[in-house]
A and B are shown apart, each in its own frame.
Chain A
Amino acid sequence: MRVKSMGIEFTRRDFLKLASSAGLGIFISPRLTSAVFKTQAEKKSATKVDIVVVENGSPAEMVQRAVSGIGGMSRFVKQGNVVVVKPNMSWDRLPKFGATTHPEVVAEVVRLCLEAGAKKVKVFDRTLNEPRRCYRHTGIQKAVKAVGGDVFFMYKRNYVKVPIPKGIRIKSWEVYRDVLEADVLINVPVVKHHGLTRVSMGIKNLMGFLGQNRGRLHRHFDQKIVDIATVLKPQLTILDATRVLLRNGPQGGNLQDVKWFHTIVVGTDMVATDSYGAKFFGFQGSELGYLREAHARGLGEIDLTKLIIRKINLDKLNSAEARG
């Protein structure tokens, strides 16, 4: 994925013209066809599903089943590809607190990428507490290293200023170079409560790729985060809802706020997966401001009834390994 500098200044009017025509086009054509052929598509092939939800298994097994349900890792990762896997390891918290992605989930994703022939799988995050602590205590560093992934700390000189031609609030932002140079981007966020966006999932997780002072993004956050999402588009989003931090997010720290759902949600449409993820909080996707914004700008589908969702229940909760 490469972003080329366009050097074009958009006025709001330009944007609205473009967005209405392009957005309408994007929105109508594929959705229309998919709606028409939905029932047939469902019968024809499992690879046509939009979202796969796997429940009640061990983290690794759920990831495996979910990815194969969406078409297998080889659908996204080709021989010799460089893959960036983006977990949430922003906080210096143990996995059980639900503030960060489950290490077994991340490790399994990395393993599947390597199995599909990836040359290199890179895992990194711009953390909010001290990076060494976060990488360690979340358990992700160790788990990813064990399966052969490359975990490293982000280097301040390695950011590239990326123009955001479709941005409303921001016109450019620094993004880590490895992200721009990667062939495949896989987003592996954890589903958790967040004071500003209410729920933090895939789109919010993209912030870990950004440089500069991210505190500045917090005013008019919904629009700004969608601006970012217009240039950073992961091919695959894997929501970790093995356990969900329901209150006191995004950092948590209290086991009473964590509920185990034993669920993995996989999809190619980052708006759709986030919309599904809102269900863990009892919301509709449309109740989240940033998702409405993302949908309106044509980044993906927010209405779950328009999507083909396949649910798999592994029903292995009683076995000890599934307890994570």
Chain B
Amino acid sequence: MSQYLRRIRLAAQIFSLCLFVFLFLQAVYPYHPFFPVQTMLQWSPLVALLTLLSSHHVVAAMWPAALILFLTLFLGRFFCGWVCPLGTIIDGFDYLIRPKKKLLSSSSRFRWWKFAILTFVVITAIAGSQLAWVFDPLVIVNRVLTVAIFPIFVFFTEAILGLLWNVQFLDKTLFGIHRFLQSFLLPLHQPYFRQGGTILVLFLLILLLSGLGRRFWCRNFCPLGALLGIFSKYRILQRVVSEQCDSCNVCYFNCRMNAIKADCLSFNKVECINSFECAAVCPKGAVTYRFGWSPKSSPIDLSRRRFLTAGAVGLLGVGLLGLDFPDRNKRGSLIRPPGALSEDQFLDRCIRCQECVRICATTGAFLQPAWLEAGWEGIWSPVGDARYGYCEYTCNLCAQVCPTGAIHLLTLAEKQQTKIGTAYFDKSRCIPWYSGDDCMVCEEHCPTPEKAIVFREGEFVTAHGKVKKVKYPYVIEERCIGCGICVNRCPVEGKPGIFLTRDGEQRY
């Protein structure tokens, strides 16, 4: 029975990781998922809590997060041990590198950190800045998959195919293989993302923490784990040790969460993630799990002093962020996805999971994770970059996959009339304006039914005083929706002859 439980847990872990990756791969055009690809991101109670606190808005689709919290009251941190994809990846990594047990494996010294971090993010959320995007494990995994791991995978697959392509007789076969891979896995074009390096390095750091001890991130830093830990304080799924136990300490050393005391008998309800490892490794078969109420709870590892400090740091942080720029809503010239909420609300809701960025990469490839363009608070939030791509006129997929409703879902007809910015000609760069030669690439691509770029014939005087006729392009401001395809396709190399600003943008 004890081996059984462990195997079921392992199967559940692999299943949920596979489900996560499967949903991730489904976030492409054409978009016909079995169920919405953002579903698993909506399971995170941390995201639900923090977006609720900062934006004062309940995202109805996040009800599973409430269900998970409710179940945690009885089962404990099953989410960490059974579902969390980051936990599974860390477990796998731990298995690979087999961290030395002596090092910080059995140390509880840093455990309070995760409660301090939770306090910090809750306080910042209440004070008006949502930081779930930094710490939430589901978001971390989705983000690194999107901007780093998947593009790297595509790059190497294409590179290998490209090498083999040079072998003359192979090309027909390879073309077939390529077409097959494209039908379910490979995108038509290599996705390019900014910030891939930063995000990958931070992810690797989380994995490398395992060098200090198993599940080091989960035990010591994950605020979602802390939140679930608080809810499992009085859990009724109990670890029961029979009298056969001779305190051999095998379970104590094998517990990846360090949740068992050295006497082998008592366990920490807040830290246990139901991996059932202890039951499986016990040489006497003395460990079982049973449901039963016990008033005995485990303490939360956070002293009052540390609690207050973390809260104070949170308040100070929000204060500093608030002093960063006078008005959140007026910041910069960023282009946000069509249907984005007002900048203030947008930052409170957006968890930087990159779901919109990923699906956009398979259509217009417009959205990119920001770095500091939107301030510290806006790191990795989606911004449109017309040099990478453009907002596809017949597409509203970014809103369809947003897990928190930071992008309001508009119908296609509404979206096609929603202005996300305005284009302006740079007359010192645009070909007709500076050289007097006709060019019409931007006009040709302009997707609005009444074209927002129109021509007016005029005279051009060359440097040598020659006069010639030329079609000058103009932007009709009220027709321009700011999709950026003109900027994207402008044949002027370097700085394009037309640029995009967020002037006139509509927010929801």
Contacts and interface: CB of A to CB of B under 8 A. Distances in A.
A218 B441 contact: yes
Size range of the chain B interface in the assembly: 35 or more
Interface in B339-377: 362-364
Interface in A102-153: 128-133, 136-137, 152-153
A151 to B, nearest CB: 11
A130 B491 contact: no
B430 to A, nearest CB: 13
Contacts, number: 74
B440 A219 contact: no
Interface stretch (B40-48, B228-236, B317-325, B391-399): B391-399
A37 interface: no
Interface in A144-173: 152-153, 155, 157-158
Contacts of B457: none
A238 to B, nearest CB: 24
Interface stretch (A3-11, A72-80, A224-232, A245-253): A245-253
Interface string B152-171: 00000000011001000001
Nearest to B446: A251
A155 B455 contact: no
A196 B363 contact: no
B157 to A, nearest CB: 13
Contact of B162 (A136, A157, A248, A250): A157
Interface string B166-206: 00000100010011001000001000000000000000000
A66 B491 CA distance: 40
A285 to B, nearest CB: 21
Nearest to A97: B449
Contact of A92 (B162, B394, B448): B394
Interface in B365-417: 392-395
A195 interface: yes
Nearest to B438: A196
Given A215-B489, A215-B491, A218-B491, A157 B445 contact: no
Contact of B445 (A128, A153, A196): A128
Interface string B232-273: 000000000000000000000000000000000000000000
A250 B446 CA distance: 10
A216 B363 contact: no
Most chain A C-beta atoms within 10 Å of own C-beta, residue among B364, B446, B451, B489: B451
A194 interface: yes
Nearest to A131: B188
B437 interface: yes
A252 B448 CA distance: 8
B449 A195 contact: no
Interface in A217-266: 218-219, 248, 250-254, 257
Given A92-B393, A132-B30, A133-B395, A196 B188 contact: no
B444 interface: yes
B188 A195 contact: no
A248 B451 contact: yes
B137 interface: no
Contact of B450 (A158, A213, A216, A254): A254
Contacts of B182: 153
Contacts of A216: 491
Given A130-B29, A153-B188, A219-B437, A137 B447 contact: no
Contact of B175 (A131, A136, A137, A155): A155
B437 A158 contact: no
Contact of A253 (B443, B444, B449, B489): B449
Given A155-B175, A250-B444, A130 B438 contact: no
Q: Of residues A133, A195, A196, A251, which shows the largest number of chain B Cβ atoms within 10 Å of its Cβ?
A: A195
A93 to B, nearest CB: 8
A252 B444 CA distance: 9
Contact of B444 (A131, A152, A196, A254): A196
Contact of B179 (A133, A152, A251, A252): A152
Contacts of B179: 152-153
A248 B455 contact: no
Contacts of B438: 196, 219
B25 interface: no
A130 B363 contact: yes
A195 B439 CA distance: 10
Contacts of A195: 440, 443-444, 455
A153 B29 CA distance: 14
Interface in B211-240: none
Contacts of A133: 29, 363, 392, 394-395
Nearest to A136: B30
Nearest to A132: B29
A179 to B, nearest CB: 14
Contacts of A137: 394
A153 B391 CA distance: 21
A158 B438 CA distance: 32
Contacts of A213: 491
Contacts of A248: 449-451
Interface in A74-106: 92-93
Contacts of A218: 439-441, 491
A132 B491 CA distance: 24
B457 to A, nearest CB: 13
Interface string B454-489: 010000000000000000000000000000000001
A213 B490 CA distance: 11
Contacts of A253: 393, 447-449
30 contacts: A92-B392, A92-B393, A129-B392, A130-B188, A130-B362, A130-B363, A130-B364, A132-B29, A133-B392, A153-B179, A155-B175, A195-B443, A195-B455, A196-B440, A213-B491, A215-B441, A215-B489, A218-B439, A218-B440, A218-B491, A219-B431, A248-B451, A250-B444, A251-B444, A251-B445, A252-B449, A253-B393, A253-B447, A254-B450, A257-B449
Given A132-B362, A253-B449, 6 more contacts: A130-B364, A153-B188, A158-B171, A195-B443, A213-B491, A215-B441
